[in-house]
Amino acid sequence: MSSTRSNPDGPYRQERYASSPEFQRGLAAHLVAKKCELLDHPQDRALLYFIQRLSHDEGGLPKLIKDLLALYPERFGTHSMLEFKLKPDQWCDATQARRIRGGILKDATEELAGRFFPVKGDKQRHAPLLISESDPCFADLGEHEQADMRRALAREAQRQAALPDGYPARAFFERCWKAAGEHLAKDLSDFCLDPEWTLSEPRPWYCADLVSILRDYQARRLARLQAGFVTTEIARRIDETLEYTLQERCMTLVYGMHRLGKSTAARHWCDCHSGQARFVEVPPGNDDISFFRAIAQALGISAGTGFKAVQLRERIEATLSTGHLALVMDEGHRLWPDRNLRDAVPFRVSWVMAMVNAGVPISLITTPQFFNSQKQLEKRSGWNADQLVGRIAHVENLPETLGDADLEAVAKAFVPSGDADVVETLVLYAKSAAKYLKGIEDVVKRASFLARKGNRDNITLRDIKQAIEGSINPSDSALASALSDPPAKGRKTAVALPMDAPPQKRVIAPPIPQSRNLCPVTAPEERNRHADAL
């Protein structure tokens, strides 16, 4: 029976286009992992995973190719062009042209090579043997043969006179640029998948320096990411913990209060280490399929709705079991079951522990809710958390607040054109708002909207205050009122502070300690505090 896609007379189905290759984007991580297992150097493996990650970003490999051609046009060329150190505005003589065209037509016949960028001195392969009149053999020819030979010599001289002495180098570069636009996407895929393509080979022919170009692009992208990011104390401590996780291939846990920029810092670190780590936000719920689909999408594995959980799990484990990629899991408290089941088993936590046993570097980013959920599960089901605690090599307890210098740096990053008054206003609002750092982002978004309505390019202090007093503050108050219980006698309702009110200290509820000591071993005062609470 023919498929509905290829049968024009069959019933119309929208799904007939679902498997179209145009909808498929990106290299499969579990297949790239097979090639990486054959590589000895970590830098080589990181390069392949870097390309694989970019293939799943917006634009995919075509965008990567466009960027490479724009940044390195003079480095696209054959091996001979690189040896000659050619530039597009230079001239290639006949000798150089012959070597360059030989690299372009490496497997072509001599006759075809002569037709491709011909130069003076090229001989016709099937041309008759020419004997000049100065040659002693010419006298041995008959009268008619000598006449035919003179006519042949005249035609050859005329042909040679029409041949160029060389070509502008741009002609060869344009040939290479065109080939890159047509074939580089497939060649990059083969570069990441083909076990016979070693990184030391000068291929493809139109870009013999491809590996060096990719490494330079990787370093350039890292520098651009680092230059545009504000490294707060929170981000610095997260970076250090994730570096430790990757190098020691262990499990770590980072916890702190909400709205401190934990997720942003962790995601940025993964972007800067796209050849070594992947960021995944743990989805809510207890089901396996959504959990594995989120990890598969983060790794770059096909995660269509037709895949079963066990199929996704096999591909994920095949990718991670090599230990070449670290997994940074945000919203770590969602690993615990969220249903009030007496015999609930923390399957997600158990799977994470199994991956740690296999040597996969894993870091959990969470809030103190992680410990609350663990403690509740232990009470309900009697599950023993000692195995989990024993696998956590390091616990990073983040500060509860940021310093003024960090808040000012964040504010300046959101409003580069803002003056000192704008920055100070944003810092004061962040200190008083429940959203904290997220409050700065929301205020700037609203202020940008107001500036555009006023046909202004830059945000002013008036826009910031109007955003806070006219929109953000009422929004915060309405949200706090909607989420709060009916106010009891003597109980204060949480509302956002007006702009003329003095800044108040951010009130943060301390994390509920648990029976298993997960505090850093280097902080005895923290251990004593938790012991007293117990």
pLDDT of residue 21: 60
Domains 229-397 and 404-478 share a fold: no
3-state percent helix, strand, coil for the chain, nearest multiple of 5: 55, 5, 40
Could you give the CA distance from residue 412 to residue 420 in angstroms, rounded to a whole number? 9
pLDDT of residue 6: 58
pLDDT of residue 499: 41
Could you give the CA distance from residue 76 to residue 82 in angstroms, rounded to a whole number? 9
Could you give the CA distance from residue 191 to residue 346 in angstroms, rounded to a whole number? 40
13 Cβ contact partners less than 8 Å away, ≥ 6 residues apart: 4, 5
What is the CATH code for 404-478? Answer: 1.10.8
Half-sphere exposure of 204 (CA within 13 A, CB side): 17
28 Cβ contact partners less than 8 Å away, ≥ 6 residues apart: 300, 301, 302, 315
Could you give the CA distance from residue 355 to residue 361 in angstroms, rounded to a whole number? 8
pTM, two decimal places: 0.79
Record: fold of 229-397: Rossmann fold (3.40.50)
Q: Where are the alpha helices (DSSP H) in 394-486?
A: 404-414, 420-432, 437-453, 461-467, 473-483
pLDDT of residue 106: 61
Residue from 471, 446, 441 nearest 459 by CA: 446
Per-domain residue ranges of the chain: 229-397, 404-478
pLDDT of residue 341: 58
70 Cβ contact partners less than 8 Å away, ≥ 6 residues apart: none
pLDDT in tens, the chain (534 residues): 445 555 666 677 776 766 666 666 789 999 999 999 999 999 999 999 999 999 999 999 999 999 999 999 999 999 999 999 999 999 998 888 888 887 776 644 444 454 678 877 666 655 566 667 677 777 677 777 777 777 776 776 666 666 788 889 999 999 899 999 999 999 999 999 999 998 888 889 999 999 999 999 999 999 999 998 999 999 999 999 999 999 999 999 999 998 889 999 999 999 999 999 999 999 998 889 999 999 999 999 986 777 888 999 999 999 999 889 999 999 999 999 877 655 567 899 999 999 999 999 999 999 999 999 888 888 887 788 888 988 999 999 999 889 999 999 999 999 998 889 999 999 998 888 878 888 898 999 999 999 999 898 889 999 999 888 876 665 556 545 554 555 554 434 333 434 444 444 444 433 433 434 444 444 444 444 444 433
Could you give the CA distance from residue 69 to residue 2 in angstroms, rounded to a whole number? 43
Contact present, 407 and 428 (Cβ < 8 Å): no
Structure tokens at 229: 């990011």
Strand 251-255 to 362-366 pairing: parallel
264 Cβ contact partners less than 8 Å away, ≥ 6 residues apart: 235
pLDDT of residue 275: 94
Structure tokens at 78: 């054959």
pLDDT of residue 531: 40
Contact present, 248 and 257 (Cβ < 8 Å): no
Q: Where are the alpha helices (DSSP H) in 228-339?
A: 233-248, 262-272, 288-299, 309-320
Q: Side by side, which strands form the sheet with 362-366?
A: 277-281, 326-330, 362-366, 251-255, 392-397
| pLDDT tens-place string over residues 391-413 | 999 999 999 889 999 999 999 99
pLDDT of residue 530: 40
pLDDT of residue 8: 63
Residue from 316, 397, 330 nearest 360 by CA: 316
pLDDT of residue 500: 44
pLDDT of residue 290: 93
Exposure of 183 by Cβ count < 10 A (0-12 exposed, 13-18 middle, 19+ buried)?
A: middle
